[in-house]
Amino acid sequence: MLDRRSEPRLLEKNSVAVTIISSPETPQLEKETFFCSTADVSVGGVRLQSAIVPPVGARLRLLVALASPARSFVHAGRVAWRGRRGADGRVPLGIQFSETADKVLREWRGVVERKLQGAP
């Protein structure tokens, strides 16, 4: 798969609670919450590994619980792309942050950039 992300990625597994806010293609999924994990994180989004597969364009609310430092962030974003289902039954989902509060994005950026530089 071609990597089109504009920011560097940090390969990292974190727990995520996802709520589907809007999914015009599959309205039956709206307001559903499911749990999955990140495969990687960047300043502008995350790649999830999920058994639940909202369509491209769906708007999501994500509660990302970082393992280190032990912090949680609430992001709003949209599904930018979906990959193929793996042998484990999960599908990679590219999530682009789109409506996250500025203060939260600044804090997230600081944590991710420090980790990319090698800080815990």
**Over its length of 120 residues, how does the chain's per-residue pLDDT go in tens digits?**
444 556 888 999 999 999 999 999 999 999 999 999 999 999 999 999 999 999 999 999 999 999 889 999 999 999 999 999 999 999 999 999 998 999 999 999 999 999 999 876
CA–CA dist 116, 63 (Å, integer): 21
CA–CA dist 85, 49 (Å, integer): 9
- pTM of the predicted structure, to 2 decimals: 0.90
CA–CA dist 58, 39 (Å, integer): 19
Pairing type for strands 15-22 and 91-97 reads: unpaired
Per-domain residue ranges of the chain: 10-116
Candidates 91, 63, 95; CA nearest to 81 is 95
The fold adopted by the segment(s) 10-116 is: Thrombin, subunit H (2.40.10)
Q: What is the structure's pLDDT at 31?
A: 95
Length of the chain (residues): 120
Q: What is the structure's pLDDT at 16?
A: 98
Strand segments (E) across 23-69: 33-42, 45-50, 59-66
Q: How far is CA 57 from CA 12, 21, 30, in A?
A: 24, 11, 13
